[in-house]
Structure 1
Amino acid sequence: MIDRILLSLLCIVLAGCGQQWTDQRGGQVQETDLQGRWMVVNYWAEWCAPCREELPELNALAEVSDQVIVLGIHFDAYEGEELRALSDQMGIRFAVVGHDFAEAYGLNLPQVLPTTYIINPQGKVAHSLQGPQTERDLLALLPIEGADND
């Protein structure tokens, strides 16, 4: 009887944990922290000039509201120290996760860079945007309280 109770508790605990991904600085991005929030997921590369133009806009967006989280994915799939150094060099202040994050959310590897996916609080892709975006344009697509989305 006690074994069944312990097994049930373990299943509940494990089910509540969800997936997690490691960002460029070794931090953990937890699936449970993303639930109920809008996500802006941006594919970028250092050799992409429009990506470089767009990164300050994404940095600004990341600071707008706790209701939205900005995540980056390096197109060429750098990891570890190489990704951290590159992200720092590029001035990226938001979390950059790996291609395993994209797979978990069913995001296709883009044909154009930059590409930005907006994922709604239910975890579904609401918008797929090609080319550089501005903070203002992205806010207009995000129905979040307290943000200037005119």
Structure 2
Amino acid sequence: MTKPIASLLLLLSCLFLSACEKDWGIDQHGREVTAAQLQGQWLLINYWAEWCGPCRTEIPELNALAETEQGLAVLGVNFDELRGEELAQAAKALGIDFRVLSDDPAERLQLPRSEVLPVTYLVDDQGKVRERLVGEQTAAGILVHLARLKGE
């Protein structure tokens, strides 16, 4: 094999492998959450539980962000690690319209286990955790944090 062809094959292999980021698992509806769907977006990752009063209060705020903010993917994670039908029922009971991950992304993003709920993480479009927000959040407050982080 000639050197230019070998170099081209190596380059294509590297590009292919870099584009093959690991997917995020399935959501509460059993649909795959792929890396391609989230690529280039900021992520808001919110940990919630059915028994958490402030979690219940902030869900409409997060629903509004998920519906209106372009370039922001709102993802929920159930603190109690519910899966399958239990996760779907809990999300429906709380009125969650955004996607809820069945698999906790804590290891992937190197997040510590939180001692309090709710907790929300803002992850930039390069996959770097930029901020940890503890306690009940509002859409307006999150937008202020995002504007500041994007301006840094």
Give the TM-score band, short-chain normalised.
0.7 to 0.9
How many residues are matched?
Answer: 140
Aligned-pair CA distance for 1:35: 2.2
Taking the TM superposition and a 5 Å limit, the aligned residue runs for 1:1-150 are: 16-20=19-23, 21-143=25-147
CA distance, structure 1, for counterparts of residue 139 and residue 54 of structure 2: 14
The aligned amino acid for 1:79 is: R
1:53-85 superposed Cα distances (whole Å, 9 cap, x missing partner): 011110001012220010000000000011001
Aligned-pair CA distance for 1:96: 0.5
Q: Does the 8 Å contact 2:63/2:97 carry over to 1?
A: yes
Please identify which structure carries the higher strand content: 1
Instruction: Give the TM-score normalised by the residue count of structure 2.
Output: 0.82
Which one has a bigger Cα radius of gyration? Answer: 2
* 2:121 aligned counterpart, secondary structure: strand
Unmatched tracts of structure 1, length 5 or more: 145-150
The aligned amino acid for 1:41 is: I
| Greater alpha carbon shift after TM alignment, 106-115 vs 72-81 | 106-115
Unmatched tracts of structure 2, length 5 or more: none
Identity between Structure 1 and Structure 2 (%)? 46
CA RMSD of aligned residues (A): 2.2
CA distance, structure 2, for counterparts of residue 12 and residue 120 of structure 1: 22
Instruction: Give the TM-score normalised by the residue count of structure 1.
Output: 0.83
CA distance, structure 1, for counterparts of residue 58 and residue 17 of structure 2: 38
Aligned-pair CA distance for 1:15: 5.0
